[in-house]
Amino acid sequence: MKLVILDRDGVINEELTDPVRSVAEFHPIPGSLEAIARLTQAGFRVYLASNQPGLGRGEVNYEGFAEQNGHLQKSLAELGSRIDGSFFAPDHPDRPGPMRKPNPGMLLDLAKRLGISLDYVPAVGDSIWDIDAARAAGARPVLVRTGNGVRTEKEHALKGVAIYDDLAAFASALIAAQQALPAVN
């Protein structure tokens, strides 16, 4: 199975100072939806794994969060694409559970439900929490310089982490690398 795991805020949509509360505040990063479409058209399954602390703090309700994800799916459907599944941790940052990144629980749960190993599966994020969760789960950490990515790159030693300007650049590189592999019969 060809699989990619994406963080949401700061990778697909603009990272805001406060949580994204409604569809009106959900602004895709230029090229991100098209990047997801190219990944799915190249045969990748795309899953989200995202901390959503606004839910835990009561700043966002579940209905509003579901509307945001529905809007994302509708926008992707217009491009002939989709998100195959969405995992999120609603934990309050002061009371993090095992699913909240940087803990690997969310990624491990995804792997368990799909019955796969995360070896070589890229997990794309914009924060050190995304990178640490990917490493702890055995996935391949990838940083994008959107959202908090530039700051994360400056503040942390990211040895062994692939870094791209944005999701579109990552998707192009991944698809090109896959196409360069010889066919196995």
Task: Name the pLDDT band for 185 (thresholds 50, 70, 90).
Answer: very low
Could you tell me which residues come within 8 angstroms of residue 79 by beta carbon, excluding any fewer than 6 positions away? 33, 34, 36, 37
pLDDT in tens, 118-143: 999 999 999 999 999 999 999 999 99
Q: Using pLDDT thresholds of 50, 70 and 90, give the confidence band for residue 28.
A: very high
Task: Give the annotated binding-site residues for Mg(2+).
Answer: 7, 9, 126
From the annotation, which residues make up the binding site?
7, 9, 126
- Cα 161–174–11 angle (5° rounding)? 65
Q: 3-173: which CATH number, 3.40.50.1000, 3.40.570.10, 3.40.50.2300, 2.40.110.10?
A: 3.40.50.1000
Which residues are part of the catalytic machinery?
7, 9
Neighbours of 66 (CB within 10 A): 11
How does pLDDT run across 82-107, given as a tens digit for each residue?
Answer: 999 999 999 878 888 999 999 999 99
pLDDT > 90? residue 113: yes
CA distances from 107 to 22, 100, 136 (A): 26, 10, 9
Q: Per-residue pLDDT tens for 57-82?
A: 888 889 989 999 999 999 999 999 99
Q: How far is the C-alpha of 126 from the C-alpha of 142, rounded, in Å?
A: 8
Query: Locate tokens 């896959």: which residue?
Result: 178
